[in-house]
Amino acid sequence: MSQISPTNLYELYKEKKINKREFLNRTITIYEISDSEKIRLECLKIINLADIKSEKLFKFLEEIIIADPEIEIRLNATSLVLKKFPNSGFNLVNYLFNSSEPKEFIIRVAKIIAEAMVSSDNNITSEVSNSLKSLILKIFENGDVKSFEILWGDWFHKIHEGFWEFLLEITEPIGLLELMDYFISNYEIYDWFYNSLLVKYNFEQWVSFLNNSRFSGRFFYIISFLEEKKPSTRFYQIIDFFKDMGANLSQSQMSLIKDIIKKNNQYSLVLALIFHWFHNFNIVSLKEILEDSDLKFILKIAELIKNPKFGFITYDDFLFSVISLLLKASEEINENYFLLFFQNIPLGLKRSMTSKLLDIINPTQSYENTEKDNFYKTKFEVADKILGLLSKYYDINSFT
């Protein structure tokens, strides 16, 4: 009797030649006497197909999950018990989170649980949910790429949106950024990070993140990578998000941004400039940071421009975020601020900046990238005003 294959046994059951009890008993017998992993997996497959839910089946699956030496079999049994017995099944596998099982096995179990949460109509216990979230939190905090790759799947998109709120409580986001950086070429994963996490953090959290030099440096290079990829849709998406975030700054938020200058973190300052956060200071607050001799704001901007790692020559958004801010300061406060900046950059950069501004006024090339073409058109007025200001004090032709 036990020599029959699991597939043939299922055919007998399907044709109603044997009842549920006999089908389950014979399937368990085949499983227990077989040394073949393939045969035992086939036994679990036919149990999955059969409409059987009993205490005996639960005990059988429980024993496999706890004691079977083959990982793939244990994982299949885990998936099966969650499908057949969603309530008691979740409680059964929850203990694995706190067991001494191999890390990869526990991560794979976590993925099975998460997928079951999406497909099950039953609510899992808070204990199981918290165990799953605790494990995921460690992956994100540690930037555990291998574990993230195992965990990743459609369930990231399908699970209810509120599930991910626990990740918004991260105070040390370096690991999260390392994951995002590693998978940045995978746009499905990047878009999940952007839509499910990045846009959920509030302004105060972002300033706190940017004041971490490791975070701001890594984040700058992520943004630079997105800018270089064509088309630059995701670059402009993230820049516009931060511009909108800083559009209506409160006094306390302006104070937080001011702290970025004090901390002398060049990456944070570059990002704050690209995001146009200083542009949204009211005139009184902008004047305060410009006139604060301890901050040396204008000189710090000049140092950024001189630093080749910030891509001054090619990174047009950075260039125009700087000159449009200085234009605002010059027009509404004192034109000497732009002149102080211009005096403190090398002759070569003066020439590069002037040439770039003149190129906007009188284009010498046709830009292939539509987004950049539009970008240049919108900056025509800024370039025109800056050149007008420079021409009052310099011979523009001497820089070309």
- DSSP H or E stretch at residue 326: helix 316-332
Nearest to 123 by CA among 90, 156, 155: 90
8 A C-beta contact, residue 64 and residue 71: no
List pLDDT tens digits, range 328-352: 899 899 989 989 999 998 888 888 8
Asked if pLDDT for residue 313 goes beyond 50, the answer is no
Provide the residue ranges of all domains of the chain, joining segments of one domain with +. 1-52, 68-172, 202-400
Q: What is d(CA 11, CA 80) in angstroms, rounded to the nearest whole number?
A: 20
Structure token digits, residue 116: 């079951």
Nearest to 211 by CA among 138, 274, 264, 141: 264
The mean pLDDT value for 259-266 works out to: 91
- Counting residues of the chain whose pLDDT is more than 70, the rounded percentage is 92
Q: What is d(CA 18, CA 24) in angstroms, rounded to the nearest whole number?
A: 10
8 A C-beta contact, residue 293 and residue 231: no
- Give pLDDT, residue 183: 92
Structure token digits, residue 31: 């499983």
pLDDT bracket for residue 370 (50, 70, 90):
low
Structure token digits, residue 360: 């906007």
Asked if pLDDT for residue 165 goes beyond 60, the answer is yes
Q: What is d(CA 279, CA 324) in angstroms, rounded to the nearest whole number?
A: 8
Q: Tell me the Ramachandran region of residue 106: left when phi exceeds 0, alpha when psi lies from -120 to 50, beta otherwise.
A: alpha
pLDDT bracket for residue 34 (50, 70, 90):
very high
Asked if pLDDT for residue 374 goes beyond 70, the answer is no
Write down the mean pLDDT value for the chain.
87
